[in-house]
């Protein structure tokens, strides 16, 4: 398959973006199309061994920076790496687009100028993929739609459920609605109005209200919420994970005995850290636009970019976009 990597996406572009693309091309043998300033991308690519790899460069003269206002820059910078990269997917010249760039910029360029929405989809949804003990949970929306209607959440559930099934291989994914209690009838007005729609929806394995503990314990495969709530949940999980890691490191270094014990337990700590490391997931899909778009964190390193390409490959192989077109036709 042919996958576009935005070479001007991450906070430290083009270094991690180009290196991650090289790692992906080496691991899977696909054609990788690097989009960005040709001179800078060529200079960065020259630092790597690319013998036998199928890597192409497509020039884009502009960059939508992290500090840019999404709507304004999407309109003004029509030769940005985002416009050019997603344009290749729109025109059938590539199968997927991967970026660690400005999330609002990606959303604006995708929905307004290039891919547009899948017919029938009311609002696209940003997603996150949370790791738990035995797998992953797909969360939507995490920030594209701060204020939602019940029908939006219902569509988020349908899209996220398809992604979980077709890209992540989860059979009959369980769908939960995030609330402040598991009991039916709990939640704000949006949750109360959405729950009946979820129960009545065909082809949706709806299990009812869930709390954050169910999300992280693996009791649900898909969790649905408005973008405001989802963004707070995401940042709370990230902050808690960081705090716990720092607390454990601090306590291990507190004395000789704990330091020695920490050295003995280091392989276990390293394995656990890897299981919850966002870089191992790489990125998550923008659902509802008419093409595979995977968005990684701005702090993405080369490993994260490579794994974001891996997420794109899963979505293409699973036929996620085709399934969504059929569902919302």
Task: List pLDDT tens digits, range 41-90.
Answer: 999 999 999 999 999 999 999 999 999 999 999 999 999 999 999 999 99
Instruction: Confirm whether 282 is domain-assigned.
Output: no
Domain count, the chain: 2
Check whether residue 262 and residue 231 sit in a common domain: yes
Q: Are residues 306 and 229 in the same domain?
A: no
pLDDT at site 269? 67
Report the percent of the chain where pLDDT is more than 70. 97
**Claim to verify: residue 273 and residue 135 sit in the same structural domain:** yes
Specify the pLDDT at position 107. 95
pTM of this prediction?
0.92
Task: Tell me which residue range forms the domain holding 308.
Answer: 1-121+288-329
Give yes or no: residues 173 and 237 share one domain: yes
Residue 283 covered by a domain: no
- pLDDT tens-digit profile of 88-120? 999 999 999 999 999 999 999 999 999 999 999
Strands of the sheet with 31-36, listed across from one edge = 55-59, 31-36, 2-6, 96-99, 292-295, 284-287, 125-132, 135-140, 222-224, 174-178, 205-210
| pLDDT at residue 286, rounded to an integer | 97
User: Quick one: pLDDT at residue 275?
Assistant: 66
214 and 259 housed in the same domain: yes
What confidence score (pLDDT) does residue 54 get?
Answer: 96
Positions in the chain whose pLDDT score sits under 50:
none
Please report the pLDDT score of residue 237 as a whole number: 83
Examine the domain organization and report whether 150 and 242 are in the same domain: yes
């Amino acid at each position: 398959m042919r996958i576009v990597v935005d070479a001007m996406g991450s906070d430290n572009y083009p270094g991690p973006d180009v290196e991650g693309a090289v790692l992906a091309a080496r691991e899977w043998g696909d054609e990788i199309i690097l989009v960005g300033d040709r001179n800078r991308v060529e200079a960065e690519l020259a630092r790597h061994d690319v013998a036998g790899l199928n890597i192409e460069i497509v020039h884009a003269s502009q960059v939508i920076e992290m500090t840019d206002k999404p709507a304004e820059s999407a309109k003004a910078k029509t030769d940005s790496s985002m416009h050019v990269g997603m344009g290749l997917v729109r025109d059938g010249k590539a199968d997927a687009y991967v970026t660690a760039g400005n999330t609002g910029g990606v959303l604006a360029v995708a929905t307004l100028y290039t891919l547009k929405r899948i017919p029938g989809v009311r609002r696209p949804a940003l997603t996150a993929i949370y790791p738990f003990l035995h797998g992953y949970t797909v969360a939507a929306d995490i920030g594209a739609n701060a204020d939602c209607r019940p029908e939006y959440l219902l569509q988020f559930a349908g899209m996220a459920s398809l992604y979980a099934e077709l890209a992540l291989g989860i059979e009959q994914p369980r769908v939960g609605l995030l609330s402040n209690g598991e009991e039916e009838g709990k939640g704000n007005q949006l949750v109360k109005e959405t729950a009946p729609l979820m129960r009545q929806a065909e082809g949706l394995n709806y299990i009812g209200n869930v709390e954050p503990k169910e999300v992280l314990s693996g009791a649900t495969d898909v969790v649905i919420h408005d973008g405001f709530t989802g963004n707070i949940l995401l940042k709370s999980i990230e902050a808690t994970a960081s705090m716990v890691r720092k607390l454990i490191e601090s306590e291990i270094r507190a004395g000789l005995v704990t330091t020695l014990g920490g050295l003995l337990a280091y392989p276990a700590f390293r394995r656990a850290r890897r299981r919850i490391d966002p870089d191992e997931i790489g990125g998550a899909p923008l659902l509802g636009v008419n093409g595979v778009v995977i968005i990684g964190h701005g702090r993405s390193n080369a490993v994260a970019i490579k794994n974001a390409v891996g997420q794109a490959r899963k979505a293409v192989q699973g036929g996620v976009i085709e399934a969504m077109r059929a569902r919302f036709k």
